[in-house]
Amino acid sequence: MTGAITPIKYLIKSYFENLYFKTIFEEDEWIIVPIPLHKKKERKRGFNQAFLIAEVLQKNLQIFYPNKKFKIETVLQKNKTTKAQAELNLKERRTNVVGTFKIKEKAEGNFIIADDVFTSGATLNEVAKTLKKAGADKIAGFVIAKT
C-alpha cells in the first residue's frame, strides 16, 4: 500500500511549502489522530487510509517545524459499524456517525484529526466532539480532498 500513498506525499509536502499562515502550531506538542476504521472494515481493506495520511503528515510537519513534536496516536476507536458516508445524504451522514467513536485513553493536549475526504464534515465534527469531551485543548483537521 505504500506505493498508493506516494502521490499524497507530494501533495502534503507541496501544501506545507506553500503555507504562509503557520501560527496554529505554536504549541510544542500536537497529537495526530487518524480517523479510525471499524476493526472488521480495516481487516477487510487491509489498511487504514487515514493512518497512512497521518504518517505522511507527521513527517512533513517535523520537516517544517523541526523544534516541535508531532506524534501519531490512535487514541480513538470506532465502536460500531456504520454505513459508508459516501452512500448517504447530508442528514443521514450527520446521524450515521453520532456515538460512533470512543476514546481509548486520555485525550488531553492539542490534536490534528487526519482523514482522506471532507464532504459534510460529519465525521470530523463527531471526532472533534469526542476529543473535546475527553479533555482536548485545541483541535485542527487535515484532509486530502474536499468534495
**Residue 46 resides in a domain:** yes
78 strand-pairing partners: 101
> Apex CA 116: angle with CA 43 and CA 15, to 5°?
140
| Residue 13: inside a domain | no
DSSP class of residue 24? Answer: G
Q: State yes or no: pLDDT of 19 exceeds 90.
A: no
Residue 141 lies in a domain: yes
Residue 9 resides in a domain: no
Task: List the domain range (segments joined by +) for residue 125.
Answer: 34-146
Q: Which residue has the cell 510537519?
A: 61
As for how many domains the chain has, the answer is 1
Q: Which pLDDT score, from 0 to 100, does residue 1 have? A: 56
> Which residues have CB under 8 Å from 81's CB, separation 6+?
38, 40, 41
Q: Report if residue 3 sits inside a domain.
A: no
Q: Is residue 58 part of a domain?
A: yes
As given in the structure block, the three cell numbers for residue 142 are 487535515
Task: For residue 117, give the amino acid letter.
Answer: V
Does 69 fall in a domain? yes
User: Does 94 fall in a domain?
Assistant: yes
What's the mean pLDDT when you consider all of the chain? 87
Q: Indicate the range of 14-28, 100-114, 115-129 predicted with least confidence.
A: 14-28
Instruction: Note the pTM of the prediction, 2 decimals.
Output: 0.86
